[in-house]
Structure 1
Amino acid sequence: IPGLDQDVRTRLSTIEQQAAETTAALRDSLRVLSAPPEQVALGVALREHCRAFSDRTTITAQVITLTELPTLPRSHIQALADAVREALLNVEKHARAHSVVISIFTLRGGVAVMVSDDGVGLGDGHTRDTGLGLASAFDRLARIGGSLAVAPNDDDGVTVQAWVPA
């Protein structure tokens, strides 16, 4: 509109941007709501573990889904969710972290979940042997053709990566 005040133009531009962001969020929500339960079960389970962890510890934790995920069998979903729960328990007990990020994405014909913290790391002299909880998660994942890895990360913390075939 010719002659429109610059302050009004700025406000209208902000409103347009917010409307576009809201529309995109609504489309994503509708896509999730119309998806079969098997496609959203993993995300729901991981967000619940993340919420419970944050409630217990007051450590900031978030779940980020990086790619669209294939439908997984219930046993694969459960194995990944159990591995994430165990990794979060280890962060709670050992890491002295300030934040945790859980990333979910497709990888090598399957689905990977990474739990990364910014805590104190593995410590000097640490062998890559894991405690009973992660060892149990490793066994559950291996039984379905999956894997589990524990390694230091660039934030001086630890990353646990669990993977299952799709």
Structure 2
Amino acid sequence: MEMKAQEATATERGAQQYLGFVLGEDAFGIDILRVQEIRGWEPVRALPETSAHVKGVLDLRGTIVPIVDLRIRFGAVDPVYEPTTVIVIAVVEAGAAGRQLVGMVVDAVTGVIDATEAEIKSPPAMVGGVSSQYLRGMVSQGEQMTVLLDVDRIFSEEEWARLDSLA
């Protein structure tokens, strides 16, 4: 009941919801409407001749989904796969490839973040090793600063074409 009341309050304020997660010590979020599912970490089918951040592919009920480790994408070296490590399956606009599913490996999911447009601030040029080109903005909630990612801009057209060829 409390969750429904929280959703109603967020909607009444005109807030959007974001799935919160952590990469290392930094808090991030993506538009919750893009999230299809969250899966526990499981080894994926590795593919030859791919970038280090492309971990491989996963068969998701008959759909082949490329799996990308956001920690490596944003500069982490040798991330550890803990029991809290999950794969966030999201729908992205992948340039010429159109709407695609992509799995993003994150350290842990933290919950749902409500933020109005007025609460979302422009990011600096670089946040936690992540270029502002990938960002939607930043939002503060108490002591916590959360970086909102734009999942459609995490990869270039060339990278999307390469990922699409894997699926």
Q: Under a length normalisation based on structure 1, what TM-score does the superposition of the two structures give? A: 0.27
**Bigger radius of gyration:** 1
